[in-house]
Amino acid sequence: MRTSRLEAFSDGVFAIIITIMVLELRVPAGHAFAELIHTSGVGLLTYLLSFVYVGIYWSNHHHLFHLVRRVNGGILWSNLALLFSLSLFPFTTAWVDESKLAPTPVAVYGINLLGAAVAYIVLQRVIIWSEGPDSPLRHAIGSDAKGKASVVLLAAGLLSALTIDRDGHLGSILGLAFFAALAILWIVPDRRIGRAIRENEPRLREPEPQPSEPAPQKAERREGDRQLS
């Protein structure tokens, strides 16, 4: 199965997630900048952070599937797991906004980010497993130190929100700082994938070989064509 349907479906889900998130922003009660900051200040910042994350996943997902020639059931379900994790962003982002950075919503937001990161790593592994030892993606990501560092940063942010200053917002702010630092780390598309795309582009563009038609069926088809003519 070609990747076109999976990519089209995924692009649609990414667009819907961003649309839902922006609809969750609250309109200020007044018409002054002070009202905007008071009513939507935290919401705009959390929306911006989540928007950047969705953009990062969309960009890297786009590059990732440039290295995949065909998909199977495992890749489809792994991709759906990633989309499920990302589809929770509007909910967790809105909860952080409405709670005014309460520790529990920030921790749940961190769990959501961690779930998406793990789902993306699993998707990569399933693709590599499906394509075998010659997988271009396997050679591109290597030991995937960047992916492992991402999990560490997310775990640090999650633990900060859960353990530091539970009665205030210090742990929540520190947790969001870890999440923002990770977004900055990934904001440029993965150069390893881009390099692998350039190196493997001629081979990836080659059409897949079609199975040869058995000789008896080929002879029957030719006889049928002669009768029709």
pLDDT tens across the length of the chain (229 residues) = 788 899 999 999 999 999 999 888 777 777 777 766 656 667 888 999 999 999 999 998 988 888 888 899 999 999 999 999 999 999 999 999 888 888 999 999 999 999 999 999 999 999 989 888 778 888 777 777 788 888 899 999 999 988 887 667 888 999 999 999 999 988 876 666 766 666 666 555 555 545 555 555 555 555 555 555 4
Q: Which domain holds residue 46?
A: 4-204
Does the residue 186 lie in any domain? yes
pLDDT at residue number 226: 58
Does the residue 165 lie in any domain? yes
Does the residue 162 lie in any domain? yes
Does the residue 27 lie in any domain? yes
Does the residue 68 lie in any domain? yes
Does the residue 84 lie in any domain? yes
Distance CA 165, CA 177 (A): 15
Does the residue 179 lie in any domain? yes
Residue 175, C-beta contacts closer than 8 angstroms, at least 6 positions apart: 106, 107, 110, 157, 158, 160, 161
| Total count of domains within the chain | 1
Distance CA 157, CA 225 (A): 69
